[in-house]
Amino acid sequence: MKLIIKKLKDDKNLLMLLLAVLSIAAAIANPSIPFKRDIYNYIFVVDISQSMNTEDMMYNNKKISRLDFTKATLRTVLEQLPCKTKVSIGMFAGVSVAATYTPIEICRNFSAINTTIDHLDWRSTWSGNTRIRESLVNLARLIRSFPESAQVIYFTDGEEAPKLHVFNTRDLTQFQGGNDWLFVGIGSDDGAPIPKYDSHNQLIGYWAIDSFALQPGIAQISESNIGTRNDSVAIGESDRYISKLNEEYLVSISKEINGSYIKGDSAANILLEMKKQKAAWRDQSNLPLRNFFTFLALILFSIRFFSITKIKKILTKKMYAKI
């Protein structure tokens, strides 16, 4: 044994060759290191009400609607999520949120999830109103029906329609289930008119100011009268309702339910904020070391080959020098 050790010390090339062979053997055996990591479940809720058709967002130097900007941002966010993360896509309109499916594993279902995002459309709405506060209670109820809990990422411009007043503002002081929910604000501070489309998605005008005004003498607190607001088209530019991102309202409502808010103009910032949310569970995984040992063997072989080549060059130079 001592002779072998001495031989290896004296012959560095032999030592490199032995280590390379051992590395290849280790790569074939493919050992692994156990480690734990946080696993997250998400439901990405997208506001598909008509105010999200407002074209006041820039993407690739082109002005697009809030809904299209949300879809592009959502695709970018999903690309960064690790495997084993489970995702559901939800749609918000009226007073409720509908989930397209319960959270599914992102890597195995990446194509299906992206197809769902592609098909998000304002024409899927089941109500002409937008009542974000009311939707939170229904959203919490929806999540409780899932096999596993999920964190909420809520994309919206914060536009309540009809406007809130003392009779139709739900009290959220006793609301439970909103901890760590993240509201993502979509829209600009300057705002733009809300386009009005027909069922074939053809522009027929813009929503009028009267469409968002409360009816005189009517306290809109029930489903029976909440859908009776004016839905006429604006006569001229001065008559158009200008929709803006209501950040102040979204910040306020997020604080009421112990959630958080971020402006949705950067997918990277959204991902950073998502990391602050609590994980669904911790998963025991194994980190395979095959690639590491394969790379190590390649380096050792390269060092040995370089050493032999270098020695040959030195010997060749000495021989020519003697000649």
CATH number assigned to the domain comprising residue 172:
3.40.50.410
Question: Are 140 and 268 within one domain?
Answer: yes
Q: What is the structure's pLDDT at 172? A: 79
Residues 306 and 237 in one domain: no
> What is the distance between the alpha carbons of residues 198 and 22, in angstroms, rounded to a whole number?
70
Based on the fold, state whether residues 131 and 202 are members of the same structural domain. Answer: yes
Domain of residue 320, residue span: 291-323
Domain co-membership, 274 together with 257: yes
pLDDT in tens, 133-157: 889 999 999 999 998 889 999 999 9
In this structure, is residue 29 part of a structural domain?
no
Domain tally for the chain? 2
DSSP letter string, 20-63: HHHHHHHHHH--EEEEEEEE-EEEEEEE-SGGGG---EEETTEE
Lowest mean pLDDT among 116-120, 270-274, 307-311: 307-311
Does residue 143 sit in the same domain as residue 271? yes
Tell whether 322 is covered by a domain: yes
Q: Summarize pLDDT for 223-247 with one digit per residue, the tens.
A: 444 444 455 676 657 678 889 999 9
- At residue 287, the pLDDT reads 65
Dihedral over Cα of 63, 68, 72, 74: its sign: positive
Q: Please tell me whether residues 207 and 313 are part of one structural domain.
A: no
Side-chain half-sphere exposure of 200, counting CA atoms within 13 A: 2
Q: Residue 217: its pLDDT value, please?
A: 42
Claim to verify: residue 246 and residue 308 sit in the same structural domain: no
Q: At what angle do helices 66-79 and 110-118 cross, to 10 degrees?
A: 170
pLDDT of residue 198: 85
Q: Is there a domain that residue 23 lies in?
A: no
Let me know whether 318 and 211 are in one domain. Answer: no
Distance, CA of 208 to CA of 241 (rounded, Å): 5
With H, G, I as helix, E, B as strand and everything else as coil, classify residue 102: coil
